[in-house]
Structure 1
Amino acid sequence: MSTAPSTTTEESTQPDAPASAPRRWAPLRPLILRLHFYAGVLVAPFLLVAAATGFLYAGAFQAEKIVYAHEMTVRVGDEKLPISEQVAAVRKAHPEGTVSAIRPSPADDASTRVLLSGVKGVDADHTLAVFVDPYTATVRGALEQYGSTGALPLRTWIDEFHRDLHLGETGRLYSELAASWLWVIAGGGLVLWFSRRRALRKVRGSSGRRRTLGLHGTVGVWAAAGFFFLSATGLTWSAYAGANIDELRTSLGQATPSVSAT
């Protein structure tokens, strides 16, 4: 005689998972969301202009070599002349101003660049770069130069266009605004992306607005490091933050060293 195992009619119920405690910063999420959105709408046009002009500046180095090929390149000869003879040829052709620097030919097919300061008609912050053939001491031309990187007129124009849109100090406010807010937008986006549940961050299999937001967040997360880098370097070009950065570099001993002419 067999007996069936006893059964109970009670059904054990699993208790609901306790609701996760609200994060301390959860009340700030709406504020961050609005800041991220409105700051993005406000700064986006300035970022677009900065990106377009920055793209032009990135290609200016190569364009300069093409536009000023006659001045910057020479036919390779047998032996380069002493620098003193090259400078003497430059001073004979351009006796105005004073020699402030000399950049010897960096390559076999490159000209020597003699920089003259205090030349009439040249901006006080610029120098007159005279190009001379290091093999024959023939002066190939003279162009106005700006900055420690040796920017010639084309690159100088693009540089100023990227810096202030050729609007002077007023124009520099655009780059200040773009660089100052870019890291805020990127940081706010990271906070919003990581605060969302994993399921809401999925892009594959979703559609419509949810897919658009997912793509926006994914691309933003991968590009965030670049945004922070661009913001930090862009601030050095700005008017107010750039001046403070220069003071910080000077206090830390990171300023460009100068060499005594004597």
Structure 2
Amino acid sequence: MSTTTAQRATSATGAVNAGYRTLWRWHFYAGLFVMPFLVVLAVTGTLYCFQPQIEPLLYPHRLIVEPQATTPRLTEDALLAKARAAMPADARAVTAPIASAPDRSTEFIFRLAGGEKQSVYLNPYSGEVLGTLSVERRFMQVDRMLHRKLLLGKPGELLMELAACWTLVMIGTGVALWWPREKTTARAALVPRFSLQGRALWKNLHAVMGIWLALGALIFVLSGLPWTGSWGKQFKAVATAANLGAPPGSWGGLPLRSALPGVRADKHAGTADTNAGMQPDHAAHQANMDSMPGMVMDDLPLPLTPWAVGNTPVPQSADAHAAQALPLGRIVALVASLGVQSGYDIVLPASATGVYTVSYFPADPKNERTLYIDQYSGTVLKDIRYGDYGAVSKAVSYGTSLHMGRYFGVANQILCAAISLGLAGMAVTGCVMWWKRRPQRSLGAPSRERAAPPMRGWKTGLVLLGIVFPLMGATLLAVWLADRTIFGRATRQAA
């Protein structure tokens, strides 16, 4: 081959691979940060996805009972009385999960004097107390907090949010690196080549596995971000302001009062109108004052709460110290008459002015429902349904159901597990690839291109990503500065 021909070939190869090392460099940095968190998210997410199957295996003597075909179940009120008798005198019943499966125990959640929540389980046929479990320390709750916050509180929650955002960079750059730059067959691009050896085999496995998982990983990230503590909270606020989130009154600003027995109904008739004339911030503050002080739906001991009502202040019944609250059984019968039979939670009134709060979060988001019921009259003060959600809240509800493996049963669980464990496999193959090519006493980041193309599209995308996710934008800037000032001096041409 002549010198001119070789130069042309080199030039052509350079043109084909223009920008490759820049993308690889950003993919490397994203993977370096994301991989440890990805493994944690994959393992904890897979476990939580199979919660319905795992928990009965962990706590069979508390959760499972022998079905009794001839013995009727005790009433909810009789079971609640037995649960109260089994708990310390200063413990307060806060939640009653309602389930009708004949082989499952009845559960009530109590808040102890020190603030800890504890579940007590009873045989629904005999009323025998089967045992208790700490809500905060039960296996699946610990797994859930690892998934959301690494058991580190707010700092851990922010770290997990950052990991999710950087996963978007990893997915985008990974697809771009995989994208065929020369003529190739679909089989070569989508099927692993096990005939390869060494690092080439690991690279091929990593690329092919990644492209198969890319769409699922993207859905996982986008469906999980609305639940994050920083960006998710702001996203809810923006969706609500644009009338795309929760319906009016679900986020405060609409205090709800019920007519008291023996008190004229018009006594409280001006409450809503008075608050309607307030400035928005003051109206929301007044709504919170009329609710349990400082408590929102996310604070309640509900294992599953619809995203659209996650920040809804819990309304109260009007003040009535002498009135008699309706028993729990009446509320269960009322909810059944409204079309919700089982698989929901009832938050019990916390004070003389509290209300019964019903949260129904089934596998099919179209049936989601949140009810506020006056504890004295049984009047439904608020009935929030899927049809009341805005477009964003509807999309988030479906995303959440898919994310948790609930929407289409066991097949959904298996699909989520396959994606999660596949992402963990991506982290492992990426780590092996880095280990095989790492230089001694160096980070081993891919070197910069001497004449990198402008890549305006990618730069614009990163800027937009940083604007949409401000926390990530700050870390993007930090990584760019570190890359220019620290790591840039030590990079070398990769093999």
TM-score, length of structure 1 as denominator length: 0.72
- Over 3 Å counting, the alpha-carbon distance change for 1:91 and 1:44 in structure 2 is closer
Aligned-partner Cα distance in 1 for 2:20–2:63: 56
SS of the aligned residue for 1:260 comes to strand
Q: How far off is 1:72 after superposition?
A: 1.4
Counterpart residue identity of residue 260, structure 1: I
> Structure 1 residues 252-261 or 221-230, which shifts more?
252-261
Aligned equivalent of 1:221, options 184, 205, 211? 211
Residue in structure 2 matching 1:153, options 126, 138, 146: 138
After TM superposition, give the deviation of residue 171 of structure 1 in Å. Answer: 2.2
Aligned pair partner of 2:130 in 125, 134, 140: 140
Return the match for 1:175 from 160, 164, 186.
Answer: 160
CA apart distance, 1:80? 0.8
Once the two structures are superposed, residues 162-205 of structure 1 have per-residue CA deviations (whole angstroms, 9 ceiling, x without a partner) of 22222222222331222111121111222233352233965659
- The answer for the alignment partner of 2:178 in structure 1 is 193
RMSD over aligned Cα, in angstroms?
A: 3.4
Output aligned runs, 1:51-200, within 5 Å: 51-77=42-68, 78-94=71-87, 95-117=89-111, 119-123=112-116, 127-145=117-135, 153-194=138-179, 196-199=181-184
What secondary structure does 1:43 align onto? helix
C-alpha distance in structure 2 between counterparts of 1:66 and 1:261, whole Å: 38
Letter in 1 for 2:161: E
Q: Displacement of 1:30 after TM fit?
A: 4.4
CA distance in 2, matches of 1:159, 1:227: 19
Partner Cα distance (1:219, 1:101) in 2: 44
Deviation at 1:105, TM superposition (A): 4.0
Q: Distance in 1 between matches of 2:37 and 2:133?
A: 32
CA distance in 2, matches of 1:80, 1:116: 22
Q: Is this contact kept in 2: 1:73–1:109, CA < 8 A?
A: yes
Quickly say closer, same or farther: Cα 1:27–1:258, change in 2 above 3 A.
farther
Report deviation, 1:224.
0.5
Rounded to whole Å, the distance in 1 between the matches of 2:19 and 2:205 is 23
Distance in 1 between the 2:204 and 2:119 partners? 53
CA positional deviation for 1:210: 5.7
* Partner deviation per Cα, 1:65-118 (whole Å, 9 max, x = no partner): 12322221222232112222212222232343443332234311211112334x
Residue of 302, 309, 323 corresponding to 1:255: 309
Hey, what's the Cα distance between the residues in 2 that align with 1:67 and 1:204? 41
- Asked whether the equivalents of residues 61 and 155 of structure 1 are also in contact (C-alpha less than 8 Å), the reply is no
Q: Do the aligned partners of residues 204 and 113 (structure 1) sit closer, same or farther apart at CA in structure 2, a change above 3 Å counting? A: closer
Q: Distance in 2 between matches of 1:100 and 1:115?
A: 6
Structure 2 stretches lacking a partner, 5+ long = 1-11, 247-307, 311-369, 376-495
- Residue equivalent to 2:225: 235
**Conserved 8 A contact 1:132-1:141:** yes
Contact 1:175 1:234 in 2 (8 A): no
Greater RCO (CA < 8 Å, at least 6 residues apart): 2
- Give the deviation of 1:240 after TM superposition: 1.8
- Percent of aligned pairs with the same amino acid: 30
5 Å matches for 1:17-36?
A: 29-36=20-27
CA distance in 2, matches of 1:197, 1:128: 61
Question: What CA distance in whole angstroms lies between the structure 2 residues aligned with 1:181 and 1:76?
Answer: 49
| Structure 2: distance between partners of 1:261 and 1:130 | 26
Q: 1:55 to 1:79 in 2, by over 3 A?
A: same
User: 1-side partners of 2:195 and 2:56: how far apart?
Assistant: 49
Are the aligned partners of 2:236 and 2:245 in contact in 1 as well (CA < 8 Å)?
no
Larger Rg: 1
TM-score, scaled to structure 2: 0.41
Q: Which moved more, 1:91-100 or 1:104-113?
A: 91-100
Partner SS for 2:65:
coil
Q: Which amino acid aligns with 1:252?
A: G
- 1:36 positional shift: 1.7
Contact conserved, 1:133 with 1:139, CA < 8 A, in 2?
A: yes
SS at match of 2:27: helix
Aligned counterparts of 1:61 and 1:241: Cα–Cα separation in 2: 29
| Correspondence for 1:4 | none
Unmatched segments (≥5 aa) in structure 1: 1-19, 147-151
Q: Quick check: 83-92 or 223-232, which moved more?
A: 83-92
